[in-house]
Structure 1
Amino acid sequence: MATFSPSASPVRLANSGNRCSGRVEMFHAGQWGTVCDDHWDLDNANVVCRQLDCGRAQSALSNAAFGPAGRGPIWLDDVYCSGNEPSISECRHLGFGVHNCGHHEDASVICEGKGVEGEVRLVNGGNNCLGRVEIFHDGQWGTMCDDLLSLDIANVVCRQLDCGRGRMILSRAAFGAGEGPIWYDDLFCIGNESSISDCRHSGLGVHNCNHNEDISVVCEGKVRLIGGSSFCSGRVEIFHFGQWGTVCDDSWDLLDAEVVCRQLGCGRVLSAPTWAHFGQGSGPIWYDNVMCTGSETKLSECRHQGIGSHNCGHVEDAGVVCEGKYRFVQYTDTTECVFEHLLICLPFSSCQLLRL
């Protein structure tokens, strides 16, 4: 029978270096413990984020996504929140310490967080590693103008977000026009700056742009496709513990591939090849027996055996083919555009994008 806990227990998010993302841990009976991911969803995550004053939830992650797995007791299982509770302990659950889980099922959360001066985020892309670039300054989120585009800008933004290298920088509000101030224009980065605020620019709030010129960025992120004909097809590789590894094709299907396509901003899925169709990878095999519903925003939100737990060889590496999300429309004779399924607009280009 589900129970309610009348008093709030302290909560923290561990193992990320950011107080607004990480493995969910709660303090009870003098000891920190974790929460099992059975029935873990965005309503539950929203309660945790609100309790920590971290804004709205962006993701509700399962399978010890912020591994290595936690220690100590597992305090809650089968948590059911409406989303309005002031604390996670006030949601329905089986009772403190009652569970049928292991720490490989520890629940995690990524919250939107409260902006701090100079912070960067990517908006409207479905995950935190692609979307419209926004910067927090003077208590307000604002955008960047697309004058003087270069991939060096994308590299700085992606590094600042811990999203790997920049894959693309897009012009003309590719992920929708923003609101509020336009903070940067005529931005020039070398590519090795630690934050976008270290790059040269016209001055905060100095610009001759409108929001139809907002910059967007696609980062390599925690998932990539290797060995295909484009950024949107290839062998699935994921980044864990500082190392790229592959996904085993046991139970691999279109629902799993659909989540990868969504995470990469690559539109609809076309196929989910198995048996190392795009060549065998190397290094660890991070996931096996992946089971997605197809609605997840990231592959890490899908169920699997646990990070690094598998019975596979690289001959079983899973692949994905997505349709791609943008196609080339037109360019002038004086510009250069590189395009496959997705478009990279190089410096000073007048490339136009059409969302498929």
Structure 2
Amino acid sequence: VELVNGTKPNEGRVEIIRNGIRGTVCDDDWNNEDASVICNRLGFPGAISSPGKAFYGVSNEDNDILMDNVQCKGTETTLQSCVHDTSHDCAASEAASVVCKPNQGIFGSMILQLYYRLRGNSLASNAGRIEVFRDGRWGLVCDDEWDIQDASVACKQLGFKHAAKRDTSDVDYGSGSGNILLSDVECFGNETSLNECEKSPWRQHSCQSFEAVGVDCRVEKETIVELVNGTKPNEGRVEIIRNGIRGTVCDDDWNNEDASVICNRLGFPRGGKAVNKAHFGEGSGIIWLDNVACSGVEDSIDDCRPYWGIHDCDHNEDAGVICLEGSLPGIHVQNCQLFWIAQRLF
């Protein structure tokens, strides 16, 4: 799924590529539930609107209309999962579009109206194929001349605090579906944007899509976890301090495996119980995480494939934990340790 012809990456005409064929979606029955499925699939936290009537223009290409009468509930993970017809009675002027809620966490920084994102890696949000948004479409960066200095600049531009972990010019994150937009990038490493680096003119290259380059950005585990508003140090609302900003966790998909990772991190190795619906009161500020998917054996919530800042929640859904007692609080969270010491001293 791609959004085409918008002025920003969170908006545009919906185009889908199925069995190698690119096409559009007819706007019959098109609504915000359908748009939300598209937006969530693309990494945005929901839809703002669902324009029809080829709001973002009629395709200049000889595209087929691949779907009609789409009827999503809004909870599906793909548009294909929704009720729809593969035949249609539509014209190109009825192409469906979406405007998604913007999310800076996915796209990092905007420099001179250029957006960058990572794709092609479902296991980590800090690594993947680098794509650039220009002239209404997402495109690729060729690996010609690509090295660790270029990757480090890309990581900084994507919002990661640290440089790239390694040179990924030989790592395959997939070819994507866009055209090559950048090639022969040569950075010194101290630039703040790929735009400042030497490179070939836009769209001038001698590359194939399989030469699309990726990055693997270094993520230091600076996440601090605390339990707040409990009556004992082994329970409370989960609050995360990341890059100096305190926030909460949404309870969507929150379960005992997620709670156990929190508890183990805090020095309660027997695991814990997940509690939902702001059981320990509502927090405030940013909601850092949603749909946490830990297996229960991770050392930190950082290892549970988090996508920071992406959610569709309110604070009445703040997650909490009740850790199983039977061991001393560990060294990871100062609040628990000081509480225990104070009990023993006084």
Question: Shorter-chain TM-score category?
Answer: 0.3 to 0.5
Greater gyration radius: 2
Q: Calculate the TM-score normalised by the size of structure 2.
A: 0.40
Normalised to the residue count of structure 1, the TM-score between the two structures is 0.39
Q: Which structure is higher in helix share? A: 2
